[in-house]
A and B are shown apart, each in its own frame.
Chain A
Amino acid sequence: MVELVPTLLRQELSRLAEDDLRLDGRGQWEGREVTLETDCLYNAEGSAKVVMGDTIVYAGVKFELRTPWPDRPAQGSLMCGAELRPVAHRKYEPGPPSPQSIELGRVVDRGIRESGCIDMESLCIVPGEKVWGVMIDIHVLSDGGNIFDACGLAAIAALRTAVVPAERFDVGEDYTLKVKGTPIMASFTRVGGRYVYDPSEEEELGGDERIHITLGDEGHLHSLQKGLRGVFTPAEFAEIFGVAHLRCVELRKLVANQEGN
């Protein structure tokens, strides 16, 4: 059964791709509707909920005081982790973090970290002694496909609403964390031989390799990742890069609008 369903699904997806169709009726580069809610969890210093089709993801930001790394005495730290808890799908099992969830967390982490949106030196309280550690935890509650983009969006949206709990730690007054940009991820999966944007659960099940692109405010690349078995051509990348660029601008607006409220 494990093999049979994807085989039939693959045939169907290939047939649809010939006519430039998708299983759920979307266009090749059309994303599902995205809803974003921020500041939605008590106890998290910053939080966000993202719903994309059947995918539901929460992200929460916590701070802790720690001693800085010896080679970077005046810098705080950022850590982003994702958990694919068994709540999210019947395919996920309990146990130590799977390679999948580690990849997910690290790809999101790189996009945020490398965009430079957090000034690590601003997280320093006493050089060599005390700095802030910022932790973004991503909780996938329902995997309906393309959890990468949902996680990336939830993480940056949560981070952008985070308030540093300085009073609770006796190091001054609370203040809003300074975040200088909004890195956004766009993901593509090869389905029926061609790439589509924002794959659904079925498209992932019957699809091949995936590519994740994280772009900063200026349109610069901050993280790339190819996952699963398969190859692509430079021309294919150029095409999806163009789509990613447009989509990231739209989603960045969504984050900004949410903050405006």
Chain B
Amino acid sequence: MGGYGDVQLLREDGLRLDGRKLDEMRPMTIEAGVLPAADGSAMVTHGLNVAVAAVYGPMEAHPRKIQRQDRAVIDVRYNMAPFSTSDRIRPGFNRRSREISKVTAEALESVVLCERYPRSKIRVEIEILAAEAGTRCAGLTAAAVALADAGIPMRDLIVGVASGKVEGIVVLDLDKAEDNYGQADLPVGILPNTGEIAFLQMDGDLSPDEYNLAMEYNFKAAAEIHEIMVDALKRRYEGGEN
């Protein structure tokens, strides 16, 4: 969090720079089954973010040392395309993408019925094609839809959603400027049916009250996003518009 106080992020009328209300998220679209080569896939556009997830497996787990005798492991790779950001990113893994991959995998392992597939591996590939703040949440949402699209049994979907703080005010779904100059960011992965949380990160500065409000915004948005996810899966399998 930059936390620089000299950049104005809220307008005189109380709305945000892009005209959104405090608890309004950027527009989101989700499509399931976008990659023919994959066992399951999804594309999420969220504001200007574009995240694609592919699922392969369950398949034999290798290298052998990652194998678990009692359950499947989920192998997640979160990767940003070199052209996804303002300055080109050198291809390959970095510390940030490794960490996001790890916590995303752990979140997905919390909902997938891994014990159905002992000694196997489920590969989840998340590719960020365009980034405008909030890519880990878009990636997590895409991964959940892709797993469902692959027919892998899950206790629930996971919805990736974030709130944060700009100019001392809690807002839902930070955009690029708000992420760069805001004071806090709280990305979470919510199980929409049970209301549990499988993914949690935060940086910046939030009071307990601000945390509660940010979470309230997150849960409200998660319900909205959940409908979009379900709709994407229905369109894929009920022969709707597609």
Contact = CB atoms under 8 A, between A and B. Distances in A.
A90 B125 CA distance: 11
Given A43-B83, A43-B131, A85 B125 contact: yes
A243 B35 CA distance: 29
Interface string A50-86: 0001101010111010000000000000000101011
Given A87-B127, A139-B127, A43 B37 contact: no
A47 B84 CA distance: 10
Give the most central of B48, B127, B129, B132: most A CB within 10 Å.
Answer: B129
B56 interface: yes
A191 B60 CA distance: 30
Give the most central of A56, A64, A141: most B CB within 10 Å.
Answer: A141
B131 to A, nearest CB: 6
Contacts of B57: 90
B35 A141 contact: yes
B59 interface: yes
A149 interface: no
B240 interface: no
Contacts of B88: 62, 64, 135, 137
A75 B199 CA distance: 49
B35 A43 contact: no
B61 interface: no
Contacts of B35: 56, 87-88, 141-142
A58 B125 contact: no
B interface: dominant SS: loop
A94 B92 CA distance: 9
A60 B37 contact: no
Nearest to A135: B88
Interface stretch (B5-13, B74-82, B189-197): B74-82
A96 B92 CA distance: 8
Contacts of B132: 42-43
Contacts of B242: none
A249 to B, nearest CB: 28
26 contacts: A41-B130, A42-B50, A43-B132, A44-B130, A54-B37, A56-B34, A60-B84, A62-B82, A62-B87, A64-B87, A64-B88, A81-B82, A85-B127, A86-B56, A87-B77, A87-B125, A87-B127, A90-B39, A90-B57, A90-B59, A90-B123, A135-B82, A139-B127, A141-B35, A141-B127, A142-B38
Interface of A: 41-45, 47, 53-54, 56, 58, 60-62, 64, 81, 83, 85-90, 94, 96-97, 135, 137, 139, 141-144, 168, 201
The list of the 8 closest CB pairs from A to B, nearest first, reads: A60-B83, A54-B36, A87-B125, A62-B88, A44-B83, A137-B82, A42-B48, A142-B37
